[in-house]
Structure formats: structure tokens, C-alpha cells
Amino acid sequence: MTNNSSIAKDYTCPGEPLLRVIAGKWKPQIFKVAADGPFRFSHLMKEFPGANKQSLSVALRDMEEAGILFKTTISEKPLHIEYQLSPKGVDVMGVYKYISTIQK
């Protein structure tokens, strides 16, 4: 008889790293906004009135650290920051769009 807990421990899903990047509060919604092009934090705050600044900031930071988003500081006055999908983020967006079509 096999020990199920050891089987589960040894099994790793190849999609698990992707799920860690796109799963979480506000990340799927941020992907939808990012698909339309560069955006600012203030746009997210208007788009998602139920969100708080901290949760959006954490989601953006996680996505940036994962290499999914680029953060660019624009030196115009007033100084502002824009986010946009990185090439890796564009690839992830393709997977995200595919998943959303099969769930319908």
C-alpha cells in the first residue's frame, strides 16, 4: 500500500508557479486592466472602488517581482509611475485569456 501523503509531497504541478503569480486578490483584475496598455495606480483605484491602496500595492509589487509587470517612473511634472505588462506578462496574459475562454 502506498502512502498518499508522500505521493502528494513528491508531486509538483507545472502550473503551480503560474498560479502563484496570477492568483490572489486583485491580480486577475489588474491583468484585465494591463491588457489595455500602460496604466497608473490612480486608474486602478478608480476602476476598483472596493480595493484599498495597500492590497493593490502588494499585488502590483508581487507582479513586478515576478517579472510580469514593468514599473516606469515618468519624469514629467507631476512625477508619476506607470505599469505595463512585460514580455513575460504578455505570455502569461495569453494563458489567462485561454483559461477565461474555457471557463465559460
Q: Which domains does the chain have, with CATH numbers?
A: 13-102 (1.10.10.10)
Please classify residue 69 by burial: count the beta carbons closer than 10 Å to its beta carbon, then call 0-12 exposed, 13-18 middle and 19+ buried: buried
Tell me the pTM. 0.77
Cα separation, 59 vs 61, in Å, equals 5
* pLDDT tens across the length of the chain (104 residues): 455 555 555 567 777 877 777 888 899 899 889 989 999 999 999 999 989 999 999 999 999 999 999 999 988 888 889 999 999 999 888 877 777 788 65
Q: Give me the pLDDT at residue 55, please.
A: 93
Q: Give me the pLDDT at residue 3, please.
A: 52
Cα separation, 41 vs 82, in Å, equals 7
